[in-house]
């Protein structure tokens, strides 16, 4: 019984940590530059649908390897969170509409 109680307490601490930590500060001007640079050259469109912000990459996407794609998703998601003050639900799609990744405040970044 003690082991079960211990596991429960550890689980509760791990779940509650994000709610009690203060948000890290970020450079909003730099984040806006990142979004602007990406939007002008690598992002085809940004729209909203069913509570998700849909980010569709441009044709450059087809020349990226997996690491570059993950880096682009991470950079955009981090910059977006800095600007908006919170992690939003984002979906990243290829130019053909294929789901590449999802991000949200609960699960973080999930590459598909």
CA 91 – CA 89 distance, rounded (Å): 7
Q: What is the pLDDT of residue 13?
A: 39
Q: What is the pLDDT of residue 83?
A: 92
Q: What is the pLDDT of residue 11?
A: 42
Q: Collapsing DSSP states into helix, strand and coil, what is residue 7?
A: helix
In DSSP terms, which residues pair with 90 in a beta bridge?
Answer: 53, 103
Q: In terms of pLDDT, which residue wins out, 6 or 106?
A: 106
- Residue with structure tokens 């500060």? 25
Instruction: With 0.85 as the threshold, say if the pTM is over it.
Output: no
Structure tokens at 89: 């639900």
Q: Which of 46, 42, 41, 56 is nearest to 83 (CA)?
A: 46
In angstroms, what CA-CA distances link 2 with 5, 10, 62, 85, 110? 5, 12, 54, 40, 35
| Residues 17-60 pLDDT 10s | 343 334 567 889 888 988 888 888 889 999 999 989 999 999 98
| Residues 71-95 pLDDT 10s | 999 999 999 999 999 999 999 999 9
Q: Which CATH architecture has domain 26-111?
A: 2-Layer Sandwich (3.30)
What's the mean pLDDT in 5-17?
Answer: 42
CA 17 – CA 20 distance, rounded (Å): 5
């Amino acid at each position: 019984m003690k082991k079960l109680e211990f596991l429960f307490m550890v689980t509760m601490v791990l779940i509650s940590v994000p709610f009690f930590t203060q948000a890290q500060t970020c450079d909003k001007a730099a984040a806006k530059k990142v979004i602007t640079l990406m939007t002008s050259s690598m992002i085809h469109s940004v729209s909203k649908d069913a509570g998700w912000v849909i980010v569709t990459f441009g044709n450059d996407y087809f020349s990226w390897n997996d690491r570059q794609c993950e880096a682009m998703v991470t950079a955009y998601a981090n910059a977006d969170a800095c600007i908006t003050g919170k992690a939003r639900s984002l979906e990243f799609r290829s130019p053909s509409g294929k789901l590449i990744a999802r991000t949200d405040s609960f699960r973080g970044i999930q590459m598909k």
